[in-house]
Structure 1
Amino acid sequence: MLKAHKIETNKSLQRKIIWLDLFVISLFFILVLRLWYLQVIKGQEYRIRSEHNRIRLREIPAYRGKIMDRNGIILVDNKPSYNLYLIPEEIKKVDDLLKKLSYMVKLDNIKEIKEKLLNIKKACAFKPICIKRGLSFDEVAKIETNKLLLQGVVIRVEGKRNYIYGKLASHILGYISWDRKGKAGIEYKWDKFLSGTPGGMQIEVDATGRIVRVISKRLPVAGDNVYLTIDKRLQQKAEQLLQGKSGAIVALNPKDGEVLAMASSPSFDPNRFVEGMDQKA
């Protein structure tokens, strides 16, 4: 009796082991089948996705600080500018791309752009190169409409320096270069404070350069505003007195020596440097 019970127990255990083996084999078979499906059936699709979706590090420029007169009247601020960038590593045929762009955007230096793209170091190929600033709305619309045909082309909205009163106090204010660095006057002297701290973000983009998702982001810190001792109204009056003449006028506060106006003629419009400045400057 005891022997029969023992035999029955062994058979039950063997059946359980068989079922367990079958379960493991089935699980292994399903896993192999799934891997075959992903690599053979869906392999090309995923390979294309991996090639088209890329991780980029994009700098977010900080807005430059404003410059104001002693009464808080803004003399210099920023306005949005649509700037055209190319990412060398994503461009397959430089000539074809530049030809397509030339039908949509006026490019005066195509030869120089081509040379720069072809000679750029491999380590810097991921870094966007600005080829034109201040695109018109019509140009932006044409590029965005044909984005699928323009691989490696990116439009960024960035701050453009705006000297509100044109020539007013131009010798005092100075101007900035294409890379937003002060080159003369207050812009140069207080560049460290006006510049601010740029931010950045890590993004995933598709084949057209459109953002798929933002992985991480650090916001920029705008530059500090600078207040001058200059009085805008006195400055305007001094410059009016110098119209058509060569010379200079300086007005000081007799109590503390603060400069209230400092005009010089002939003068210039700093906005022309902003609009016409390129990377040769």
Structure 2
Amino acid sequence: MAPRKRMAMHDHAAEAALFKRRAIFTFACVVVLLTVLFSNLYQLQILSFKDYETRSNDNRIRVVPVAPSRGLIYDRHGVLLAENQPFYALELIPEKASDIADALDRVSKIIPISAEERENLIESLKFHRRFKPLTIKNRLTEKEVALFSVNQHEFPGFSIQAGLKRYYPYGSLLTHVLGYVGRINNRDQAALQANGQWHNYAATHDIGKQGIEKYYESLLHGQPGHLEEEVNNRGRTIRTLKSIAPKPGQDIYLTIDLKLQQKAMELLDSRRGSIVAIDPRDGGVLAMVSSPSYDPNQFVHGISSKAYSELLNSRSRPLINRATQGQYAPASTVKPHIALLGLDDNVVTPKTRVWDPGFWQIPNVERKYRDWKRWGHGWVDVADALIHSCDTYFYDLAYKTGIDKLSNFMTQFGFGELTGIDINEESAGIMPSRDWKRIRYNQPWYIGDTISVGIGQGYWTTTPLQLANSVTILANKGERFVPHLLKSIKDDTRMVDTPADKMPPVVLNNPKNWDVINLAMKDTAHKSRFVDAGYNAAMKTGTAQVFSVAEDEKYDADTIEEHLRDNALIVAYAPYENPKIVLAVVLENAGWGGVNAGPVARAMLDEYILRDNPPGDTAEPKS
């Protein structure tokens, strides 16, 4: 009989101890895991609640910027110069249209769509979200809008949308003053980002490009509003949660007198040239015309390459603002300033006389500098020299004065420097000096250079605005203002006038010399264009050579090309006793200043001085 196996005995105490240890370990693990779980829940639900709520809302709520309406621009009398007009555009939401190609073919029978436009649209659809609207055509006419509206039921997904665009009701009349707005390009975007202003243009497509529109962009643009929309996970709008209205741009009033501006453009009659009129009492620009001009409205919606190329390559250079960028030899229009220097520096006195045989020579030099009157003026003093524009007198005066004093003195009248007018398109011109010629040409200054400067020729160039500004200082007897176009700003509650910006005055050693020069300019006007004006004016004409004529040759306008003929200039102000308008006129290649520019100046002053006060009326002219 086989032996019986021995039964193994369990150690219950050991097993119980093992179980207990395992249970405690398991419980500890559960506690740790629960602690981690609740810690994470606390972190997510309590500590990070705001952060995740914001992230969730960003995914659920879309902020849509709303563009502000642009501020309006008026003239000094409240005439609207730049407005916002509604425009209509045809838009398509692709997901709502079944056969887009066929739909475009049918739409084009109502609203013309060229083959090129159609091809571009088809290409754009490849990268466009199907639930977002796509612009098919801009600037629809009222007839096109009406025709499409009647047939809109046949075109699911297509709709007419309205908006506002800048419009200039006077077209080319004020282009070089107002400038224009155009679509924001990469350069504009970079500038806005650098200035921290890009967020204000999220809903805006246009920005001021030139003139007043650009200079006062911060006033005219306004502040954008926004809509908060709830969207689904595909970006479709479910509902609008909140709406913040945009703040429109401020309206601005200019110093421009529209009637005077219109008169100036009428007088130029498409000729190349410029007219600038300034109110000497505060430096406000009454009129500033550059001719020829162009219609700024074509830039608002985007000018075609062909049209822009024609403007850019035109020999008449309509894109240039001749009033502030055109650089012309001032010729005899600056003789009053040079005579003033001679008097105040005691180089001459009011009674000093110079013999004019029709030419002048530098001592011990054979070359003759010809007077415009070939047989000369005889004996002339400073008043005679200004009235008859005697070149010989000013050759001699410039020689005795020297370029250093000439340059320094003329700089006080703004020559060779920016005037500071509130548009960006301005040139400083050239007030030549020894240092300027050394830097520009690496050449020394010669006495002959000074002689040419003495009659406003040679290297000296100025803009019509600088000319008008310099005569304003003469009329004001040294008082100086910064020329400006902004008169006042209007917001929701009030209109605020902008103060005139004064500059340090021109101070003479003998203030009586102002009267000597201004009286001579008055006599000049009385003996020529303004003898029967009904008011007292002061003036000085100028005829600027475009190219040099040899010493032994005679200038003959009939035998040279038109673009090489002399420029005609005139400066004037009125009334003489209490100046209210200062004028500068430049006509390119028009010939003799008095004959050609004179009538323009007379008509301009008549328009302004006699507008509300016909001849014989003693009342003060309105301004």
Give the TM interval when normalised to the shorter protein. Answer: 0.5 to 0.7
Change (3 A) 1:66 1:192: same
Give the drift of 1:225: 0.9
Name 1:257's counterpart in structure 2.
283
Confirm whether residue 132 of structure 1 aligns to residue 137 of structure 2.
yes
Give the drift of 1:91: 4.7
Q: Is the 8 A contact 1:177 1:277 kept in 2?
A: no
Give the drift of 1:78: 1.6
Q: Secondary structure at the match of 2:247?
A: coil
Number of aligned residues: 217
Confirm whether residue 111 of structure 1 aligns to residue 119 of structure 2.
yes
Name 1:94's counterpart in structure 2.
100
Change (3 A) 1:164 1:106: same
Paired with 1:160 and 1:93, the residues of 2 have a C-alpha distance of 32
Name 1:70's counterpart in structure 2.
76
Q: Is the 8 A contact 1:203 1:216 kept in 2?
A: yes
Unaligned 5+ residue runs, structure 1?
Answer: 1-54, 205-210
Read off the aligned partner of 1:222 and give its amino acid letter: P
Q: Please identify, of 138-147 and 108-117, the stretch whose mean Cα deviation from structure 2 is larger.
A: 138-147
Q: Secondary structure at the match of 1:104?
A: coil
Read off the aligned partner of 1:217 and give its amino acid letter: S
Name 2:85's counterpart in structure 1.
79
Q: Is the 8 A contact 2:182 2:302 kept in 1?
A: no
Paired with 1:182 and 1:90, the residues of 2 have a C-alpha distance of 37
Name 1:48's counterpart in structure 2.
none
Q: Secondary structure at the match of 2:288?
A: strand
Paired with 1:201 and 1:164, the residues of 2 have a C-alpha distance of 33
Q: Is the 8 A contact 1:174 1:186 kept in 2?
A: yes
Name 2:267's counterpart in structure 1.
241
C-alpha RMSD of matched pairs (Å): 3.3
Paired with 1:170 and 1:278, the residues of 2 have a C-alpha distance of 18
Unaligned 5+ residue runs, structure 2?
Answer: 1-60, 184-204, 231-236, 309-623
Paired with 2:77 and 2:282, the residues of 1 have a C-alpha distance of 17
Q: Please identify, of 144-153 and 64-73, the stretch whose mean Cα deviation from structure 2 is larger.
A: 144-153
Give the drift of 1:129: 3.2
Paired with 1:148 and 1:56, the residues of 2 have a C-alpha distance of 31
Give the drift of 1:171: 0.9
Give the drift of 1:216: 4.1
Name 1:184's counterpart in structure 2.
210
Deviations 1:152-200 (A, max 9, x none): 3232221132212222111111122253322222122222322223445
Paired with 2:89 and 2:62, the residues of 1 have a C-alpha distance of 18
Q: 1:164 aligns with which of 156, 169, 173?
A: 169
With normalisation by structure 1, the TM-score equals 0.65
Paired with 2:252 and 2:100, the residues of 1 have a C-alpha distance of 44
Give the drift of 1:262: 0.9
With normalisation by structure 2, the TM-score equals 0.31
Paired with 2:127 and 2:139, the residues of 1 have a C-alpha distance of 26
Paired with 1:220 and 1:83, the residues of 2 have a C-alpha distance of 22
Q: Larger Rg: 1 or 2?
A: 2
Q: Please identify, of 236-245 and 178-187, the stretch whose mean Cα deviation from structure 2 is larger.
A: 178-187
Q: Is the 8 A contact 1:61 1:158 kept in 2?
A: no
Which structure features the higher share of strand residues? 1
Q: Is the 8 A contact 1:65 1:222 kept in 2?
A: yes
Q: 2:243 aligns with which of 213, 217, 220?
A: 217
Q: Secondary structure at the match of 1:177?
A: strand
Change (3 A) 1:177 1:88: farther
Change (3 A) 1:58 1:131: farther
Paired with 2:229 and 2:148, the residues of 1 have a C-alpha distance of 21
Name 2:159's counterpart in structure 1.
154
